[in-house]
Amino acid sequence: MEGFVSWVGRSSQHISMDLYQEVEGRRVNFLSARFVTVSQDPITGRATPNMPLITTDPEQEEIVRRGRGISLLHFV
């Protein structure tokens, strides 16, 4: 199982999860899930700002680039 934050907006974030199984000696992805969560102030119930997502290598930058593309689809 792998999971990571794939995008962070002002108050929402996307989390990606992949579940793998070994089949005939190969690692096969057989389940992918994407979650969208929103940060809320516990007192007011209003959206609250997130900390920015900081990438440290090209692989992380690619994950965030793809996550941003998916997030834009929610507004179309």
* pLDDT on residue 46: 94
- Band (76; pLDDT cuts 50, 70, 90): very low
* pLDDT on residue 72: 60
What total number of domains does the chain contain?
A: 1
Domain membership of residue 27 as a residue range: 2-73
The three-point CA angle 29-33-34 to 5° equals 135
The three-point CA angle 55-65-33 to 5° equals 95
* pLDDT on residue 66: 81
Q: What is the CATH number of the domain that holds 8?
A: 3.10.129.10
pLDDT tens, 8-58?
989 999 998 999 999 999 999 999 998 989 999 999 999 999 998 888 999
